Structures are given as structure tokens and as C-alpha cells.
Structure 1
Amino acid sequence: MRRKENPRQLLQSVIRAFRIAEMLAEEGELGVTEIDGRLGIDKSTAYRILATLREMGYVRQNPLNSKYSNTPKFSLLGGTAPDMQLIRERARPVLRSLSERVGEAVNLGCLDGTDIVYVERIQCNEMIQVNLPVGRRMPAYCSALGKAILAFLPAETVEKLFSGTSFVQYTERTVQSLSILLAELEAIRSDRFARDLQESHPGLSCLAAPVFLASGKVGAGISVSFPAFRHPDMEEAERTIVPALLDAAVNISGELGYSGRNHEHDLPGRQPVPEKKRQEE
């Protein structure tokens, strides 16, 4: 039977820090005023806790709206959370093979609030290369990697993440609103891959696919990035690149224990992801 702690032995600052972390995990992104209102604490206390968590690397502040969100560092604390180091290790040889197969740079990324964070990269041998270094952040709504992950989250989660978000127009092709993003994510679920056709940077194109965990939940994404001029015919590029990209995503998901049979239960009514291809004996 669990012993009840003496209230005087409990540190309120620790309790508040974890409650803030739990709120951010549930809501995705919150401002100081929203946090102090929900917890019933003064703004200066909420700010000091957030500043401490940010200094330790557990939360980040969105420069566009000053709101806070958790970072992937929390995954180091829980065995059930996505272990990005494990995913990187399992993905690296597959990414290297994919890069050799398509002749372009490939990336592994995870979702952090409303951003995508690049956690692994294999560069190609072309003289003109796409430079998306590890640690680089990019809004998920204008990233193929981001959209590949968002497409396999519950729609209500995506709506919470981007509700009230200003969709900054990085190019004339950038997604302009939440309704447009949700419609695109529906198509991505059907196609099983996402596109960034010069939406984040002029001249940069990307194709991406989701990576699933043993639980059936999406845990990361992989992408192939290339200068648009190198593949001016995108239909031809997709015919060449997408089959290799999907094979790589399936292989990484399989390495992480995903069987392909449990994901459809997480998103009822949505297009299920086909089962992982059987390996030839």
C-alpha cells in the first residue's frame, strides 16, 4: 500500500514544474498567462519555472508567439516515450542505403511542438547539396517531414497544436491556414507520403514518409531533400524516389518493432497503413 506523504515534505515548485510539463504535453503549446491561469499561480512563478525548464533544455519558447512547448529531451525520462537515440541508431544504416539508392540527401526528424527537429542526416555526393543540419528546426506545416508526422496524429491533436498559429508565408506556396493543412494531411494519409514543393525555401523540394513505433503511434519521419532544379519533373521524381522512401520508412518502422497491425486502431475511420512487407526467408 502506498504511503501518503506529509504535505510539508512536498516541494510545491517541483509539483508545479511537472504539472506545467504535463499541460504542455497535452496541449502542445501554451503561454505564461494560460499556464498561470490554469494552475492558479502568479505569472512570475510560472515564468521562473519555465525559464528553469528552458535552461535545462526541457522546454523551448516559440519566437513567433512567445508560447512554450516541451522538447524531445523528456523522452530520456520515460521508457514508453520515443527514444530518439534508439531511433537514430536503427535508422542510420537504412538512411545511408536510401541516400545511395536515390542519390540525394536524406533526413530523420521528430516533432517538437509545432516544429520539426532534424535529428539525423546523410548527405549526398552531389556538388550542390541541401544543407539541413542536425538540430535545425522548421515549422512542421511547411515541412514534408512535419506533415508526414502530423498526418498520422489525431486531427484534434493537430487542431490543438495549430489553433491560433500564424502561418508564416516563407514562400508563395506555404500552407496558409489550418483548414488547408488539415485537408492536405487527409491526402497524405491516403498517399502515405508528404510533399514540400518549395514551401519552406525557394528552390528546395522534399518528399517524406512517417516512421511508426512498436505501439503503432507515429514517432518520427524520414525525408529525401533535393534542389528543385535537379528534378524539374516532380511526377517523375516521385515515381523514382517515393518507392525507395516508403521501403526505407517500412524498414525503420520494422526495426522499431512496428508490425503494421495496430496503427489503424489509433485513428478510427482513417486510412490504415499497409502491413509491413514480409521479409523473404
Structure 2
Amino acid sequence: MVDGKHLSATEALASVTKALDVLVLAYDRGEIGVTETARELGISRSTAHRILVTLQRTGFLRHDPGQHGYSAGPQLVRMGLAAIAQLDVRRQARRPLEELSEKLQETVCLYSLDAAVVRLLDGVECRHVLRVSVPLGQELPAHVTAAGKALLALRDSADVRATLPAVLPATAAGSITEWPLLEVELEEVRARGWAADLEESAHDLHGVGVAIRNRIGEPLAAISVYAPAVRLREQDMPAVATALQETATTIARAE
């Protein structure tokens, strides 16, 4: 809704596009004003002013007292730094992931946690005919994956509750959908230092995951091994977890 009027889908999309154009302009110029924004984007001064003020209120731009124009705000800076961090951890992790996949002869993945989901940043597929694929950029509910649970376990229960949806979604028959069960599971992960996925993200698929922390203990990402359940049995998981923890340490030291 703008000025008391409901926008159509087309108008809403146009508004979002204009806002993104303003952010790109601010990035290119470093600082932009109302007149410059209106001229460069071919919009009215009132529209330019409304977009700039909205982006300022939401933290994407900043306009300090005495500052002529608008520049990158804390939200935009945070997103940029997060993107850089993901690129860094991918670069640091690539060789260790390849070595671990070769050692275990299974698919190894690198995930980041973004609110309630994990995102696949990188991975190395094994050579088995029956293997787990690595669709880069894939997102899954964090609580159904080994990597996601490894990262969630680094947070306290209140933070996890605030991050995940009240109704936990399922992606397979084995997915944990009840909060008491998830809290017990995360306590077990905290105690042993690694997480398991027992057909929780997909049917007939098992996984083991550990978190990667930086030098001061903050989480960077998580790595996991995934394989058909027939090849990655529960009794094999502690040994796989040890190999993952060694690789996580190697990646963290490269930071």
C-alpha cells in the first residue's frame, strides 16, 4: 500500500525494481541525492524522495545530519560483508572438501545458515553411480539437515525458537516436526559435537554434519557428508564425524 492505495502486482514489482535501481546507483556513486536519483532513473523528485526515505528507514541507506545525500546503510553493508564471508569460506573450504570426499568416497557439502534455512554453498560429489548430487544454492529447512542442526546447536534454545517457524515443516517422513523432540536432538548435538540426519531431509538418505568456527569461536558455516542410508549406517557415523571435525579445523585455520 502506498499513500493509502493498494498496489497491483505489476505496480508492486515496478516499485521494487525502482528501489533496487536506487541501491545500485548508491553503490556506484557512493552518495546520491534526490535530484540526482530522479534524473538518473527518470522518475519524479517526489518518487525519488519517497524511495530514498523508505530505504533509509529500513536501514539499506543512511542519511546523517549534515550529509548532503544518501549512502550505504547498515543493512546493505551487512549483506555485502555476509556475501564476502561466504566467498571466503568457499575458497578456504574447497581443497579440504575435495580431500575429504576422496578419503570417504562420499559426497561432501558446505552449507551456510540463513535464518531458518541452510544454503548449499559448495560441494564435491563422489564417484559412485548411486550418489548425492550437489545443487549449488539449494535451500532446505535447517532443522531437517545435519549441517543445519550442527549450526542451530551453537545457539541457545530461545534463539532457536525465535529463528525457526512455530510449525516445523517436514521434507521427509523422518523430519522432526515437534519442538520438544528438536530440542532434545539439539542437546545431543551440543553434547557430542556433531549432528546426524537419519532420513530427515530425504527418504533413504543419511548425513553427518559439523559446524566450522572461526578463531574466536563464531560459526562460519557447516560441512556434511551425505550418502544413501545403506552406505552410511548409524554405527559408521562417529568415525565420519571425526573426519569431518578434522576437516572443519583445517578450514578454520585457513581463515
| TM-score of the superposed pair, with normalisation by structure 2 | 0.69
**CA spacing shift, 1:173–1:94, aligned 2, 3 Å:** same
Aligned to 1:220, the other structure's residue is in SS state strand
Distance in 1, Cα, partners of 2:242 & 2:57: 44
8 Å Cα contact 1:101/1:244 also seen in 2:
no
Q: CA RMSD in A?
A: 2.7
Q: Distance in 1 between matches of 2:229 and 2:111?
A: 21
Give the CA deviation at 1:15. Answer: 4.8
Q: 2:241 & 2:215 partners in 1: Cα distance? A: 23
Superposed, 1:194-233 pairs within 5 Å as 194-231=195-232, 233=233
Matched position secondary structure for 2:102: helix
Instruction: Tell me which stretches of 4 or more aligned residues in structure 1 moved more than 3 Å.
Output: 8-22, 73-76
Q: What amino acid is aligned across from residue 132 of structure 1 in structure 2?
A: V
Q: Per-residue deviation at 1:174?
A: 0.8
Higher helix fraction (1 or 2): 2
- Give the Cα–Cα distance (whole angstroms) in 2 for the partners of residues 123 and 249 of structure 1: 18
Indicate whether 1:16 and 2:54 are aligned: yes
Q: By how many angstroms is 1:163 displaced?
A: 4.4
Aligned partner of 1:185: which letter? Answer: L
The equivalent residue for 1:157 is: 159
1:129 maps to 2:131: yes
Contact 1:170–1:201 under 8 Å retained in 2? yes
* 2:168 partner amino acid: F
What is the CA–CA distance in structure 2 between the aligned matches of 1:220 and 1:77, rounded to whole Å?
A: 17
2:124·2:134 contact (CA, 8 Å) conserved in 1?
no
- Shift of residue 14, structure 1, vs aligned partner: 3.8
Alpha-carbon spacing, 1:199–1:154, altered in 2? closer, same or farther (3 Å): same
**1:105-144 equivalences in 2 (<5 Å):** 105-144=107-146
Q: List gaps (5 residues or longer) in structure 1.
A: 1-7, 23-69, 257-281
How is 1:168-187 mapped onto 2 (pairs within 5 angstroms)? 168-187=169-188
How far apart, in 1, do the equivalents of 2:218 and 2:210 lie? 14
Q: Secondary structure at the match of 2:230?
A: helix
Q: In structure 2, what is the equivalent of residue 255 of structure 1?
A: 254
Return the letter of the residue paired with 2:125.
Q
| Alpha-carbon distance in structure 2 between the residues aligned to 1:82 and 1:152 | 22
5 Å-filtered alignment, 1:54-65, equals: none
Displacement of 1:214: 3.5
Q: 1:77 aligns with which of 80, 89, 95?
A: 80
TM-score where L is the length of structure 1: 0.63
- Cα distance in 1 between the residues matched to 2:77 and 2:224: 24
**Alpha-carbon distance in 2 for matches of 1:18, 1:135:** 29
Distance 1:89 1:240, change over 3 A: same
Superposed displacement of residue 221, structure 1: 0.3
CA 191–14 in structure 1, closer or farther in 2 if over 3 Å, else same: farther
